[in-house]
Copies of this chain bind each other. A is one copy, B any other.
């Protein structure tokens, strides 16, 4: 039981009251992980560009590749990540796959993010 004392704070100066209050209001690990994961996906310029583009129009992989001047493979890899986190949805029409935004949260997330970043 005496393990893991050294790597944590020596705790001469913990504000116990405040820490307890914070601890009681902390979200479960799982929720934190989910939130961080969502932001992580939004934390890449290529994916931001893709999502930003899809705010304006539904596009196929080739369109996005052309728009961003990047290989279709690179775009496709990123689209998979966006699909897995349910940020985009797609529909197939023959060989062509059309991507669009999965819901309307992205618009407000971008707005909030820019509000912070640009202030």
Contact = CB atoms under 8 A, between A and B. Distances in A.
A109 B113 contact: yes
Given A15-B63, A19-B67, A53-B22, A38 B8 contact: no
Q: How large is the interface on A (under 10, 10 to 19, 20 to 34, 35 or more residues)?
A: 35 or more
B110 A115 contact: no
Contact of A42 (B33, B43, B48, B70): B43
Contact of A40 (B37, B40, B59, B60): B40
Given A36-B45, A105-B116, 17 more contacts: A7-B70, A8-B65, A8-B70, A9-B65, A13-B60, A19-B59, A22-B53, A26-B52, A26-B67, A34-B117, A35-B117, A36-B42, A37-B117, A38-B43, A40-B43, A41-B43, A106-B116
